[in-house]
Structure 1
Amino acid sequence: MLAVLALASLGGGYQTVRAAVEASANAMPGQLFDVGGHSLHLSCTGSGSPTVVLEPGAGMVSAQLGLITPTVAHETRVCVYDRAGRGWSGPAETRQDATQIATDLHTLLERAHVPGPYLLAGHSFGGLYVLTFAARYPDEVAGMVLVDSTAPASEADATATAADDGGSSDLANRAVTLVSTSARLGLTRLIDQPTPSDVRSTIEEYGQGGSSTREAASLRDFAGKPLVVLTAGIGHDADALVAQDALATLSTASAHRVIDDVDHLGMIADENGADATTRAILDVVTSIRAAVPLTD
């Protein structure tokens, strides 16, 4: 028992000191904005229209898009943000499914006085959130890039009720308690989640995955707006590739590009993948500005 208490004390002390050191070493770019009960972090750089809004993947933070943001900022305005409970953003009491995340993002952009039209680019689960945003606010979205996006639910699955997520939500709640305790002891450094809030929000995000895929499926027609679907060349089976092809059918002005020798995370974290993602975003910027079609 004494050994366990000693480990807990050391781990907790390490976590506290490490968090303080990181907070002082990494000054927050941008600002915090109240979106109704909690604050979200937003950082915008560059100038021009359309404004590119980057949506990180599941469990990720805005700082992890650092290979993409500077190059895009040379051409137009680009904004990155942290979802609730992640990075520099505060935790939220509301259920964080795709609809709530899209609503919070819309409120954030309004309160930060970031005008549309928006070009939304979402990686992984972030693809679900930008699809949902585009379905809810179609007049404000001019183009989209889906970066190895999680696929929305099929038409049959999209009719299921939220009650179907009850079991997974209960499992998530149990996991939240366990992993958040581990985070306070500094143990979650092993899985690249620096704070209890980050861990909690990530687990809750996966717990809402079923709801988010159904909500993203509400976008059935992107109305001929420019859309690029990027697919990692590594890690997809045949069914996943079919789902990626289906995403490209949302618009008659779309391009589907498979990026060879890059895996899911590499689409934003590796030089080749980040270059392909940046190029796709800038191609959509050009398409919007010049009203020219996309090319593969």
Structure 2
Amino acid sequence: MRNDPQGSAAPAAGGPSPAPVAGADREGSRSKRVRRIVVVSLLTGLVLAGVLALGLLGGAREHVVTGSALLAFAVGWAMLAVWSIRRSDQPQRWAFVPAAAMAVAGTGLLLLAPDDRALTAAGWVWPPVLLALAVWIALRARRSLSAGSGRWAVYAVVVIMIAASLGGMAETVALASDPRTQAMPGDVYDVGGRRLHLDCTGSGSPTVVLQSGQGEMSSSWGLIAPAVAATTRVCAYDRAGQGWSEDAPQLQDGLAAAADLHALLAQAGEHGPYVLVGHSIGGAYAMTYAARYPDDVAGMVELDSSDPYQATVAPGAADSDAPPPFGALASLSRLGIWQLVPAGGSELPEPSAGSADAFATSPRGLRNFRDDFATMPALFTDAQALTTFDSKPLVVLTAASGPEAAHDRMAGLSTNGSHRHTDETHAGLLDTETGAEVSVRAIDDVVQAVRTATPLPQE
């Protein structure tokens, strides 16, 4: 046998292959172990955040949803640090930094319970901090993890963090600079220590008061209010938490909202009796007001009103919680997600279209949407207090696929009631020109019936 130049024996032809190197096996095993730790830890944080934000706490307030999600992410990073120290020879102690940062931020949100203004102001701080943290994590992972040890999983999380920070910056800038949210028509009036917005135009009596539905605001009446103002006075207003009105300290049922409107109209110097017009759940608010202040109401128009006679809205609905995932919408909007969603098919004129769209996609608007859903059971119970409308003119308009039986019952509240039907969609009764024409015709009929004390025309 001949030795090679290095002094090692060459294998005989046809002999057994060299034995695998033990060190390579150990290296591969270590890489697999660390990779499992990285992937499982980060997935645990992500899944836990999703379960809390979209499931268990889906109906909670924005600060609770966001704070809980941050604590869940903190758990994932802490798992990565602890498991890598105890179960591998590649400790990732740097993971304690994002774990601590997110734990502190989440705990702070839960304890301080900031309102919308504070959360919006924080939008100037947390996006750059998150961006810096994401870059730092990427650099540490590059130094501490080999390519086969799960570095890609950390990089994937880093990309998500960078996208969230950039989206948060865009959302904050949009909220601060969007001119559509700045030009407020009408005025605001102090009602019980907070200011509510009211926009009245036109002249004549009776005054028409417009009540918005879920996710809507005073600008949603941009096609209807000007048309009604041509024949009588009309007022569009924002309930607490809507549009340009300030938030209420707690969720409001129908009676609380009726008391707000009653005080608002008095503060503004408006005089009844009024013709109330409600769209969607705005119809239930109108019914509640009519039951609470019957002498202030001369007539009513229900534009495809929600069914106030239903026992429940959805499984899990309660006075203080909204079914998931509505509670998470406001938190997600802080990431600028809804800036990417194109506007719908609204035909509202400007600036109404811009104001309504800006509110609907803002964190505040989405939280108001959640609050409206949460208070529906109490609102519908309050609306059922209206058991008769006597002989006052009442038009109930049912859109395509509207609650036919409930609307029949509502129209029957008055001996001068009219149940009408249209092929227009629920939303189209406000935000399309043809739908608005149908709505304006119903309002004009009630106004004329009040003025002349005559029966409504039947259609």
Question: For residue 218 of structure 1, what is the aligned residue in structure 2?
Answer: 385
Over the aligned positions, Cα root-mean-square deviation in angstroms equals 2.1
Aligned residue for 1:243, secondary structure, equals helix
Question: For residue 180 of structure 1, what is the aligned residue in structure 2?
Answer: 330
Which AA in structure 2 matches 1:249?
G
**Distance in 2, Cα, partners of 1:129 & 1:185:** 33
Residue among 243, 248, 251 paired with 1:95: 251
Match status 1:286 vs 2:434: no
Residue among 434, 453, 459 paired with 1:272: 434
**Distance in 1, Cα, partners of 2:368 & 2:233:** 28
Residue among 42, 48, 58 paired with 2:214: 58
Instruction: State, as a whole percentage, how many aligned pairs show the same letter.
Output: 45
Aligned residue for 1:222, secondary structure, equals coil
Which AA in structure 1 matches 2:277?
A
Q: Is the 8 Å Cα contact of residues 19 and 194 (structure 1) preserved in structure 2?
A: no
Question: For residue 41 of structure 1, what is the aligned residue in structure 2?
Answer: 197
Of 268-277 and 3-12, more deviation after overlay is shown by 3-12
Residue among 224, 231, 256 paired with 2:419: 256
Which AA in structure 2 matches 1:99?
L
- Residues matched between the structures, number: 284
Q: Is the 8 Å Cα contact of residues 395 and 417 (structure 2) preserved in structure 1?
A: yes
Question: For residue 78 of structure 2, what is the aligned residue in structure 1?
Answer: none
**1:11, CA displacement in angstroms?**
1.1
Aligned residue for 1:133, secondary structure, equals helix
5+ residue gaps in structure 1? none
Q: Is the 8 Å Cα contact of residues 12 and 184 (structure 1) preserved in structure 2?
A: yes
Question: For residue 374 of structure 2, what is the aligned residue in structure 1?
Answer: 207
Q: 1:11 to 1:279 in 2, by over 3 A?
A: same
Between structure 1 and structure 2, the one with the greater Rg is: 2
Aligned residue for 1:168, secondary structure, equals coil
Q: Is the 8 Å Cα contact of residues 37 and 92 (structure 1) preserved in structure 2?
A: no
**1:135, CA displacement in angstroms?**
0.2
Q: Deviations 1:115-164 (Å, cap 9, x if unpaired)?
A: 1111000000000000000000000100000000012226xx5xx9xxx9
Question: How does 1:69-108 map onto structure 2 within 5 Å?
Answer: 69-108=225-264
Aligned residue for 1:172, secondary structure, equals coil
**Distance in 2, Cα, partners of 1:94 & 1:25:** 24
Q: Is the 8 Å Cα contact of residues 173 and 204 (structure 1) preserved in structure 2?
A: no
**1:179, CA displacement in angstroms?**
2.0
Residue among 107, 113, 116 paired with 2:269: 113
Which AA in structure 2 matches 1:15?
E
Aligned residue for 2:369, secondary structure, equals helix
Question: How does 1:107-186 map onto structure 2 within 5 Å?
Answer: 107-153=263-309, 157=311, 168-169=318-319, 171-172=321-322, 175=325, 177-186=327-336
**1:185, CA displacement in angstroms?**
1.4
Which AA in structure 2 matches 1:194?
T
Q: Is the 8 Å Cα contact of residues 58 and 126 (structure 1) preserved in structure 2?
A: yes
**1:198, CA displacement in angstroms?**
1.1
Q: Is the 8 Å Cα contact of residues 317 and 374 (structure 2) preserved in structure 1?
A: no
Question: How does 1:2-17 map onto structure 2 within 5 Å?
Answer: 2-17=158-173
Q: Is the 8 Å Cα contact of residues 175 and 203 (structure 1) preserved in structure 2?
A: no
**Distance in 2, Cα, partners of 1:197 & 1:74:** 33
**Distance in 2, Cα, partners of 1:29 & 1:267:** 22
**Distance in 1, Cα, partners of 2:392 & 2:243:** 32
Q: 1:187 to 1:148 in 2, by over 3 A?
A: same
Q: 1:295 to 1:60 in 2, by over 3 A?
A: same
**Distance in 2, Cα, partners of 1:291 & 1:209:** 34
**1:29, CA displacement in angstroms?**
0.2
Which AA in structure 1 matches 2:367?
R
**1:165, CA displacement in angstroms?**
9.3
Q: 1:30 to 1:288 in 2, by over 3 A?
A: same
Q: Judging by fraction of residues, say which structure has more strand.
A: 1
Higher normalized contact order (CA 8 Å, seq sep 6+, divided by chain length)? 1
Give 4+ residue runs of structure 1 displaced > 3 Å after superposition: 23-26, 164-171, 173-177, 188-192
**Distance in 2, Cα, partners of 1:91 & 1:165:** 27
Q: Deviations 1:197-242 (Å, cap 9, x if unpaired)?
A: 111111011111111111100000112101011111x223xxx211
Aligned residue for 2:306, secondary structure, equals coil
**1:169, CA displacement in angstroms?**
4.4
5+ residue gaps in structure 2? 1-156, 344-356
Aligned residue for 2:247, secondary structure, equals coil
Q: Is the 8 Å Cα contact of residues 132 and 215 (structure 1) preserved in structure 2?
A: yes
**Distance in 2, Cα, partners of 1:74 & 1:125:** 26
Q: Deviations 1:40-83 (Å, cap 9, x if unpaired)?
A: 11100001111100011111011111110111001111000111
**Distance in 2, Cα, partners of 1:294 & 1:170:** 40
**Distance in 2, Cα, partners of 1:223 & 1:188:** 46
